């Protein structure tokens, strides 16, 4: 089966296709929800989800329990504390066109056996879903959707949003308000104008800008981004009125001072709903905020209760997704970019065209196979799609307008860098790679990646600045940035004395980042932040991780043979060994943990044992609790597996970890007995689970 819905007859092909879809959807979920760096339009992602669901529905033997086709959102970032939602924040099923929307309306009418139905239509804000929890009128927590059950605690940052009240008068004892945090277009444009004037990198789009702003470590930075909020429903309500309709609950929410979108309307028929959706498409660019669809809900709460929900979405609501916006333009050239690992990615250079709310001059072509399959050629008139305000793509050529004498584009044999490095496609891989580590393009991307928020988080060291530094011969690798002097930076175009001082200070501050960030920053293939954190906790320092054997690294939960081997191959290169030595000489810390320093004098009561911690341990942060386990010889991975010795459970524990532990018979230790557990290394007698 492909994205158009055709199905191959061969069962092996179907199984292979389903496995590929699951892997790709999981990767794109992480890029979108955790890294705020989507690679494909929403519409393409939705097509992949729908294709996977069709395969799994038609062939239940190919379905898996944790399929992305049934998941909600993404995993919770390790940067913020987890928050368990009292009422799950479910996702929504999508209607990709009017026919699917009408079919949903007919299903609702059949399920309610002809009862009178009122629909509520709401603009689908392209932002970040947020849960605001008030206790006795006080805002006590703000959490992202996360995976639907557990989100990220971003309370400090949300308090800076002017639309969100800190206190409510005459509120129920517990009052949860849900809505969407977004960045107004006017704010987005003003911030980008200021960035351009300062020679800084522009924000990509309002949705990513809003998500990135909420995940800032400094709330003052969030405040400067001037985010806004639309409330769209209540969550848990205790000690308050019983609502009979969604509209009445929104009236109560508005009465407490929350902004409720004025474009929310009620409709008596599905035809009225369709009219609202068509009107929203026509005027989507007239608003000061991005919308990517319309959410339609049943108004009557009793009818909702009777309609119920699937494992991931309510049956009483649906999201009508706007069709992807497409335009035709001329494909001027196909060029190839080279990333930090040598991955060579073709992209289209276009005659600039306004599509999806912005002017597009470049678009992704993914890989050489996609170029071949789509058969796009320089000089073609091509269809360009930009959906969801993310990376635009070339859909395909308009063959009727292809110039006479056109020939297929051939992937180049050599990199365009001064070294003219050879391009190689490893057997069994879709990607073509530049095999010369000294390639200047790879060099620049490695330095850029080192400075990103997910790695060493060096403010001000963006792509433009890195390229200025390498072009000037001041920096050849990441170790060189720690030798930079203010006068050298000040000499670069666009840098005044103050901005040069700020950059050098930010670089100096990055010398003391946690060990896992250093490991991530190396850009080793397959090694991401999660595995880096597990390795840092297990071995205690960057050098210990690098100098361990593949077998020792692979034994750490969440790592495995592929990552372990990739690290070994990377460190075996003399240039990389030299880089590590130079970073250490430059004062980059290799043994900083997120929690307190490890006391090596403590008894190794947990030697070689994996202890997972979920929820709050009294008197300790999660990182401090993990460090206490590591200090006693254990490891503190982020997920439960058959290798887990015990699961420590405190307030706000993740339901998924508890369920997995129960399934595997992993002993469960109450957080208030954590100290006793550390001292003895034995599971307390009254713990639950197998083996006790």
Q: Is the distance from CB of 238 to CB of 171 less than 8 angstroms?
A: no
Statement to judge: residues 127 and 171 lie in one domain: yes
This prediction has a pTM of: 0.46
Largest CA distance in the chain: 81
Integer-rounded Cα radius of gyration of the chain: 27
State which residues form the domain around 494. Answer: 440-512
SS3 annotation, 662-684: HHHCCCEEEHHHHHHHHHHCCCC
Statement to judge: residues 228 and 363 lie in one domain: no
At 62, list the tokens.
């190919």
From residue 619, how far is each of 443, 469, 622, 625 by CA, in Å?
44, 46, 10, 9
Statement to judge: residues 113 and 258 lie in one domain: yes
Residue 77 lies in a domain: no
Query: Considering 70, 99, 120, which residue would you say is the last residue of a domain?
Result: 70
Of 253, 254, 259, 258, give the one whose Cα is nearest residue 240.
Answer: 253
Identify the three-state secondary structure at position 186.
Answer: helix
Statement to judge: residues 197 and 341 lie in one domain: no
Question: Kind and range of the H or E element at 532?
Answer: helix 529-539
Q: DSSP letter string over 371-393?
A: HHHHT--TT-EEEEEE-TTS--E
Statement to judge: residues 508 and 519 lie in one domain: no
In the beta sheet, which residues pair with residue 298?
119
At 12, list the tokens.
């092996």
Statement to judge: residues 534 and 642 lie in one domain: no
Distance CA 361, CA 611 (A): 50
- Predicted pLDDT at 480: 96
For the chain, the straight-line distance linking the first and the last C-alpha, in angstroms and rounded, comes to: 48
At 30, list the tokens.
């992480």
Query: Considering 348, 380, 405, which residue would you say is the last residue of a domain?
Result: 405
Angle 90-91-93 from CA coordinates, rounded to 5°: 130
Distance CA 74, CA 58 (A): 26
Instruction: Report long-range pairs for 557-564 (Cβ below 8 Å, ≥24 apart).
Output: 557/610, 557/635, 557/637, 557/639, 557/641, 557/643, 557/644, 558/530, 558/531, 558/534, 558/637, 558/638, 558/639, 559/531, 559/534, 559/535, 562/526, 563/526, 563/527, 563/531
Distance CA 535, CA 213 (A): 29
Residue 204 lies in a domain: yes
Statement to judge: residues 164 and 243 lie in one domain: yes
Residues with catalytic function: 124
Statement to judge: residues 143 and 63 lie in one domain: no
Residue 215 lies in a domain: yes
Residue with tokens 């912005």: 358
Q: Mean pLDDT of successive 10-residue segments in the chain (692 residues)?
A: 46 80 80 61 69 82 70 55 88 89 94 93 93 95 88 90 92 95 89 76 75 82 89 93 92 94 95 94 84 94 92 90 80 91 90 81 86 91 72 84 92 89 81 85 92 90 93 95 95 92 95 93 87 88 95 86 93 95 95 62 81 81 74 76 85 68 85 87 63 32
Query: Considering 362, 381, 405, which residue would you say is the last residue of a domain?
Result: 405
**How many domains does one find in the chain?**
6
What is the side-by-side order of every strand in the sheet holding 610-614?
A: 610-614, 644-649, 668-670
Statement to judge: residues 284 and 399 lie in one domain: no
Residue 691 lies in a domain: no
List the CATH number of the domain containing 231.
3.30.470.30
Distance CA 599, CA 99 (A): 64
Residue 640 lies in a domain: yes
At 157, list the tokens.
């940052």
Residue 647 lies in a domain: yes
At 481, list the tokens.
């940035």
- Predicted pLDDT at 368: 84
Residue 415 lies in a domain: no
Torsion of CA 416, 445, 564, 454, to 10 degrees: -160
- Predicted pLDDT at 5: 43
Identify the three-state secondary structure at position 541.
Answer: coil
Statement to judge: residues 132 and 163 lie in one domain: yes
Residue with tokens 């769209």: 232
- Predicted pLDDT at 689: 44
List the CATH number of the domain containing 558.
1.10.150.20
- Predicted pLDDT at 550: 94
A 10 A CB-CB count for 58 gives 11
Statement to judge: residues 220 and 300 lie in one domain: yes
Distance CA 161, CA 528 (A): 32
Residue 393 lies in a domain: yes
From residue 661, how far is each of 225, 338, 621, 646, 648 by CA, in Å?
41, 43, 22, 8, 10
Statement to judge: residues 298 and 364 lie in one domain: no
In the beta sheet, which residues pair with residue 383?
328, 396
């Amino acid at each position: 089966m492909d994205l158009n819905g055709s199905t191959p007859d061969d069962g092996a092909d179907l199984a292979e296709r389903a496995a590929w879809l699951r892997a790709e959807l999981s990767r794109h979920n992480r890029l979108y929800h955790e890294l705020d760096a989507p690679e494909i339009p929403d519409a393409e992602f939705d097509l992949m989800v729908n294709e996977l669901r069709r395969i799994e529905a038609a062939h239940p033997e190919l379905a898996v329990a944790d399929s992305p086709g049934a998941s909600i959102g993404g995993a919770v970032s390790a940067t913020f504390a987890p928050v368990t939602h009292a009422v799950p924040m479910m996702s929504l099923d999508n209607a990709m066109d009017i026919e699917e929307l009408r079919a949903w309306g007919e299903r609702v009418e059949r399920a309610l056996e002809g009862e009178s139905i009122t629909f509520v239509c709401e603009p689908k804000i392209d932002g970040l879903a947020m849960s605001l929890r008030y206790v006795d009128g006080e805002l006590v927590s703000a959490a992202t959707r996360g995976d639907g059950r557990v989100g990220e605690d971003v309370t400090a940052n949300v308090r800076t949003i002017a639309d969100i009240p800190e206190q409510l008068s005459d509120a129920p004892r517990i009052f949860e308000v849900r809505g969407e945090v977004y960045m107004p277009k006017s704010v987005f444009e003003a911030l980008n104008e200021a960035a351009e004037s300062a020679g800084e990198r522009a924000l990509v789009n309002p949705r990513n800008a809003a998500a990135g702003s909420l995940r800032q470590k400094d709330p003052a930075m969030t405040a400067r981004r001037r985010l806004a909020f639309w409330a769209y429903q209540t969550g848990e309500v205790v000690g308050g009125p019983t609502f009979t309709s969604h509209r009445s609950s929104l009236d109560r929410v508005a009465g407490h001072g929350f902004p409720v979108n004025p474009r929310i309307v009620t409709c008596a028929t599905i035809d009225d709903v369709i009219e609202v959706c068509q009107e929203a498409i026509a005027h989507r660019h007239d608003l000061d905020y991005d919308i990517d669809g319309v959410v339609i809900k049943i108004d009557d709460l009793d009818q909702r209760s009777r309609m119920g929900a699937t494992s991931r979405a309510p049956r009483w609501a649906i999201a009508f997704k706007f069709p992807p916006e497409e335009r035709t333009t001329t494909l001027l050239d196909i060029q190839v970019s080279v990333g930090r690992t040598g991955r060579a990615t073709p992209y289209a250079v276009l005659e600039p065209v306004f599509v999806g709310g912005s002017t597009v001059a470049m678009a992704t072509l993914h890989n050489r196979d996609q170029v071949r399959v789509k058969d796009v050629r320089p000089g073609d008139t091509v269809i360009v799609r930009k959906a969801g305000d993310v990376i635009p793509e070339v859909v395909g050529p308009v063959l009727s307008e292809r110039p006479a004498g056109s020939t297929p584009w051939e992937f180049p044999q050599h990199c365009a860098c001064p070294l003219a490095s050879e391009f190689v496609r490893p057997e069994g891989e879709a990607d073509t790679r530049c095999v010369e580590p000294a390639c200047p393009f790879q060099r620049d991307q490695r330095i850029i990646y080192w400075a990103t928020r997910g790695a060493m988080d060096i403010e001000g060291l963006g792509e433009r600045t890195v390229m200025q530094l390498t072009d000037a011969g001041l920096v050849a690798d990441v170790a060189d940035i720690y030798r930079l002097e203010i006068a050298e930076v000040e000499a670069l175009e666009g840098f005044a004395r103050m901005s040069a001082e700020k950059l050098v200070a930010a670089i100096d501050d990055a010398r003391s980042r946690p060990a896992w960030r250093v490991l991530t920053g190396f850009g080793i293939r397959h090694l991401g932040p999660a595995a880096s954190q597990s390795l840092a906790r297990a071995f205690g320092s960057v050098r210990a991780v690098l100098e361990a054997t593949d077998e020792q690294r692979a034994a750490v939960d969440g790592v495995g043979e592929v990552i372990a081997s990739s690290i070994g191959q990377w460190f075996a290169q003399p240039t990389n060994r030299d880089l590590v030595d130079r970073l250490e000489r430059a004062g980059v810390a290799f043994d900083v943990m997120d929690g307190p320093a490890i006391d090596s004098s403590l008894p190794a009561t947990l030697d070689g044992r994996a202890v997972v911690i979920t929820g709050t341990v009294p008197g300790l942060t999660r990182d401090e609790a993990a460090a206490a386990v590591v200090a006693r010889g254990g490891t503190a991975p982020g997920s439960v597996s058959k290798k887990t010795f015990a699961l420590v459970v405190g307030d706000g524990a993740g339901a998924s970890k508890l369920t997995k532990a129960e399934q595997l018979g992993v002993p469960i230790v109450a957080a208030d007995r954590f100290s006793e557990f550390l001292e003895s290394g034995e599971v307390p007698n009254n713990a639950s689970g197998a083996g006790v």
